Amino acid sequence: MSDDIMGDDVFIHKYSYLGKGAEIWDSISKDYYYNLGERELSTLEKSIKMAGSLLGSGKYNIVHLGSGNGVEIPIIVKSLKRGKIAKYFLVDISRQLLSLAKSFGEAYYKDITFSGFVKDITGKDTSSFIRGLKQSAREKNLIFLVGNGTLMSYPTVVCNVAESMDYRDRLFITLEVFDSARELEILEQYKLPNIIGLFESSLSVFDISGTVLNQYHFSYDKGIEQIRVYFNIAKWESDNKRKCKKFIGPLKEKVLVFTSYRPTAKHLKEYLIGKGFEIVKFSHFAKEHCCGVLCRIKGKNNE
């Protein structure tokens, strides 16, 4: 895995959710101090209720990308109403998290068929994979990409989703948005012990363990509108009096371990339009500091 996990000085964060990382993420989502997760769930519920009437008639296949442990499932089902759901597809890179999500969904809703797919949706074949979930020409997908700035920091993800859609399909996005007045507050969210543990789960592939907060550097890059977290390898080696023996390639003083897309509300709307979407409903919730967006693909015989 070592050769795959690193590229362009980045320890790829998506692999953090494998193995022990799945347990860590499950703990983070239940952490009382993880305020962002609570605000994202509130945004999801409010935005579905506001935009639900715009979905039109008929049922949808729910395609839940980056479904994690499935904590959003009850909100999605309850807010949409059971009659709008044909099938529920869970898609995640982590087999362990998929198992948690599937069990969670089935415990709540015994009359809904939940299917799990281990998939890296940053890959080039994501669009054909999503299209392939439809078993007939009459089916339509309602794709959820909720509270997942990490996935949205990969430019391929939104492009792949757009390519997968036809005029009947819809995309639901929720995302915390950036406000310069909250910059420090936004960055502080990523300093919880559990989240540091998640960053470390990818670093552990390179025999790095026992990391501490002051070995990380947290910043917001306004040019690309991303939260970026760097790990200082040189400081870790100095603190631990040992070398990073399994590091692949030339040693860097610090490496990027995490990115998350955080545009302003205005730029989020512009970004989606630029990727070929038409905004059906855009809601900015000031209390939650998040947006909820319902989109359809532009120029494909929209009704």
pTM of the entire predicted model: 0.88
Q: Which of 127, 125, 119 is nearest to 164 (CA)?
A: 127
Say which residue the tokens 């009704």 belong to: 303
Domains of the chain with bracketed CATH: 2-21+181-261 (no CATH), 35-177+264-297 (3.40.50.150)
Cβ contact 249:284 at 8 Å: no
**pLDDT at residue 245 is higher than 70:** no
Q: How far apart are CA 10 and CA 274, in angstroms?
A: 27
Residue 3, pLDDT > 70, answer: no
In sequence order, which residues have a C-beta less than 8 Å from that of residue 126 and are 6 or more positions away? Answer: 119, 156, 157, 160, 161, 164
Which residues have a Cβ under 8 Å from the Cβ of 29 and sit 6 or more positions away?
37, 68, 69, 71
3-class SS of residue 160: helix
CA distance 144 to 39: 17
d(CA 110, CA 169): 25
Which two tokens mark 177?
Answer: 């948005």
Kindly state the average pLDDT of the residues 230-253: 78
For residues 136 and 141, give the distance between their C-alpha atoms in angstroms, rounded to a whole number. 11
Indicate the pLDDT class of residue 1, thresholds 50, 70 and 90.
very low
pLDDT at 208: 86
Q: In sequence order, what are the residues at sequence separation of 6 or more whose Cβ sits closer than 8 angstroms to the Cβ of residue 210?
A: 240
Q: What is the pLDDT of residues 168-210, one digit of tens each?
A: 999 999 999 999 999 999 999 899 888 888 888 878 777 888 9
Q: Strands, E, within the chain: which ranges?
A: 6-7, 10-11, 60-65, 85-92, 114-118, 141-146, 170-176, 216-221, 226-232, 254-261, 277-285, 290-297
Residues 96-111 have a mean pLDDT of: 91
Average pLDDT of the residues of the chain? 85
